Copies of this chain bind each other. A is one copy, B any other.
Amino acid sequence: MERTIINRVIFAVFFILLMFVPASAQTDQLPSWNDGAAKKAIIEFVKTTTEKDSPKFVLPAARIAVFDQDGTTWVEQPMYTQVIYCLERVPEVVKAKPDLKNVEPFKTVLSGNREAMAKFTMPQLEMILAATLTGMTVDEFTSEVKKWLAAAKHPRFKQLYTDLTYQPMLEVMKLFRANGYKTYFVTGGGQDFVRMYSEQVYGIPPEQVVGSAGATHFGYDKSGKPILTKVAKLLLNDDTAGKPEGIYLMIGRRPVAAFGNSIGDRQMLEYTQAGDGARLMMLVHHDDEKREYAYGPNSKVGTFTDTLMAEAKKKSWTVISMKDDWKKIFAFEK
């Protein structure tokens, strides 16, 4: 009993001391960002929407910030990470179903001819996605993806895909969360794929990942244990108009801040902006060939058209230049 009281007194004294420590010098909230309009817009937005006497104050419950993933928070070139996963799963699938060996598009994937793969039609790509993303239980899928993520490396950077996240965007997510915002992914990528690493890599828990989603089927295994099996039926195509539709389905509130990088994010930004009060809409522009990639209207992956750039200007969306706004892109950079 006496010890408890002593502990309490020590704690109280410590608490009092803490209160008299002068506020430390203002630390840079976004250290990987160069000073400029983009950095300023983010810091200003967070400040004005969370200070109680601000005319732009946003209630804590309404603080929803949504982020596209591929190309907005990690590398999406030369191919979306999940598509690479699917291609690299093909040998395993063929091992289980040897008949596929001589059937297109599997034959081309096994040949390793990347140029031919880049020319796959949409139905061919869908065959690969169906063969590698469906037919297994969700537990089997989880274990396959985790194994792959722990080993597979990006062809150019020779790093794990989960290390190819943009340090400046991790800082933005952290800043938002530190100010009472809930951060969500709203990604065209597979919802259950992204959920495998979103918490560990980005601090976004599985229930805050909105993505393209296939159906599952509830059933029982031979021992009578309930299982969920992934089936080849698309429930939600979380791209373009599917993004605001997915936000309504999964979150049920309109975001106040939205980050994207391509024409697939346009409707999400429009939907975000259409609400009342303070709004922040931003687009990451890939203009840094040296440190990452430079691409725009002509890229099949992460297309950023001139029309999108014109809309961004007209509607006061902030375009982030990776080259000019980001001091550092990856955490592993020296």
Contacts of A225 in B (CB 8 A): 274
Contacts of A253 in B (CB 8 A): 206-207
Partner of A209, one of B5, B19, B61, B252: B252
| Main DSSP-derived SS at the A contact region | helix
A125 to chain B, nearest CB (A): 23
Partner of A206, one of B8, B216, B218, B251: B251
Contacts of A218 in B (CB 8 A): 241-242, 244-245, 267, 271
B19 and A250 contact, CB distance less than 8 A = no
Report the bound CA distance from A205 to B61 in whole Å.
Answer: 8
Partner of A236, one of B207, B235, B241: B235
**Interface residue? A138 (CB, 8 A):** yes
Contacts of A199 in B (CB 8 A): 61
Contacts of A219 in B (CB 8 A): 241
Contacts of A236 in B (CB 8 A): 235
**Interface residue? A75 (CB, 8 A):** no
| Count of identical protomers in the assembly | 2
**Interface residue? A292 (CB, 8 A):** no
**Interface residue? A332 (CB, 8 A):** no
Per-position binary interface string of chain A over residues 238-280, scored 1 when its CB falls under 8 Å from any chain B CB and 0 otherwise: 0001101100111111000000000000010011001000000
- Would you mind naming 30 contact pairs between A and B with Cβ atoms under 8 Å apart? A5-B20, A8-B20, A9-B16, A11-B19, A12-B12, A12-B15, A12-B16, A138-B248, A191-B252, A192-B248, A192-B252, A206-B253, A207-B207, A207-B250, A207-B251, A207-B253, A209-B252, A213-B249, A216-B245, A217-B241, A217-B245, A218-B267, A218-B271, A219-B241, A226-B270, A226-B274, A228-B245, A228-B248, A228-B271, A250-B250
Binding site for B on A (CB under 8 A): 5, 8-9, 11-12, 15-16, 19-20, 61, 138, 182, 191-192, 195, 199, 205-207, 209, 213, 215-219, 225-226, 228, 235-236, 241-242, 244-245, 248-253, 267, 270-271, 274
In the complex, the 6 A-B pairs of residues with the closest C-beta atoms, listed nearest first: A206-B252, A218-B241, A12-B16, A226-B274, A226-B270, A218-B244
